[in-house]
Structure 1
Amino acid sequence: MACMYLQDGVALSLPVDSSGMDAQLLGPVEIRQLAEKLDVTPTKKLGQNFVHDPNTVRMIVAAAEVSDQDHVVEVGPGLGSLTLALLDTVADVTAVEIDSRLAGELPSTVQWRAPDHADKLRIILKDALQVSHADFEAAGAPSPTALVANLPYNVSVPVLLHLLEEFPSIKRVLVMVQAEVADRLAASPGSKIYGVPSVKAAFYGDVRRAGSIGKNVFWPAPKIESGLVRIDRFAPGTEPWPLDDATRSRVFPLIDAAFAQRRKTLRAALSGYYGGGAAAEEALVQAGISPSERGEKLGVADFVRLAGVTK
Structure 2
Amino acid sequence: MNKEILRPNRRLGQNFFVNPRLLRELVDRCALDENYLVFEVGAGTGELTALLVECAGAVISCEIDRRFAPLLKDRFAGVDNLQLLFTDVRKLNFAELAADRTQNRLAVLANLPYYITTVVLEQVMTQIPQTDRLGLMTQLEAAERLTAPPGTPGYGPTAIVLALWARVQSITKVAAGNFRPRPPVESCWLCLERRSDMGYAALLAEPGFVDGWLSFLKSVFTQQRKTLANALDSALRRAFDRETETAEIASILRSLNLDPQSRPGVAEPQQWLDLYCLLLQCE
C-alpha RMSD over aligned residues: 2.8
Q: Name the counterpart of 2:240.
A: none
Q: 1:261 to 1:277 in 2, by over 3 A?
A: farther
Distance 1:70 1:308, change over 3 A: closer
Matched, 1:283 2:244: no
Partners in 1 of 2:201 and 2:97 — Cα distance? 30
Other-structure match for 2:159: 198
Is the 8 Å Cα contact of residues 144 and 167 (structure 1) preserved in structure 2? no
The answer to whether the 8 Å contact 1:94/1:122 transfers is yes
Identify which of 101, 120, 132 aligns with 1:171. Answer: 132
Runs of 4+, deviation exceeding 6 Å? none
SS at structure 2 position matched to 1:307: helix
Q: 2:73 aligns with which of 100, 107, 122?
A: 107
Q: Which runs of 5+ in 1 are unaligned?
A: 1-32
Task: Kindly indicate whether the alpha-carbon contact (under 8 Å) linking 1:151 and 1:177 is maintained by their aligned counterparts in 2.
Answer: yes
Residues 192, 213 of structure 1: alpha-carbon distance in 2 compared, 3 angstrom cutoff: same
Change (3 A) 1:295 1:104: farther
Deviation at residue 54 of structure 1 after TM alignment: 0.6
In the TM superposition, residue 214 of structure 1 has moved relative to its aligned partner by: 1.1
Contact 1:143 1:169 in 2 (8 A): no
What is the deviation of 1:69?
A: 2.8
Which residue, 64, 68, 71 being the options, matches 2:37?
71
Match of 1:23 in 2: none
C-alpha offsets along residues 206-257 of structure 1, whole Å, 9 cap, x if unaligned?
2354211111111111101111222211227743561124533542233213
Gaps of 5+ in 2: 237-242
Q: Number of residues paired by the alignment?
A: 271
Structure with the larger helix share: 2
CA-to-partner distance for each residue in 1:79-104, whole Å, 9 max, x for gaps? 11211122232223210122222234
Residue 273 of structure 2 corresponds to residue 304 of structure 1: yes
- Which amino acid is the alignment partner of residue 293 of structure 1? S
Mark the CA change 1:297 to 1:277 in structure 2 (over 3 Å): closer, same or farther: farther
- Flag the 1:151–1:238 CA change in 2: closer, same or farther, 3 A: farther
For residues 7-86 of structure 1, the aligned pairs below 5 Å read: 33=1, 36=3, 38=5, 40-86=6-52
In 1, are the aligned partners of 2:112 and 2:137 still within 8 Å (CA)?
yes
Counterpart-to-counterpart distance in 1, 2:264 and 2:70? 46
Q: 2:191 aligns with which of 230, 242, 257?
A: 230
CA deviation map 1:191-220 (0-9, x unaligned): 332222211222422235421111111111
Counterpart for residue 62 of structure 2: 96
Could you say which residue in structure 1 is the equivalent of 2:210?
248
Q: Does the 8 A contact of 1:254 with 1:303 survive in 2?
A: no
| TM-score normalised by structure 1 residue count | 0.76
Partner SS, residue 136 of structure 2: strand
Residue 33 of structure 2 aligns to which amino acid in structure 1? S
Please point out which of 242, 261, 264 is paired with 1:292. Answer: 261
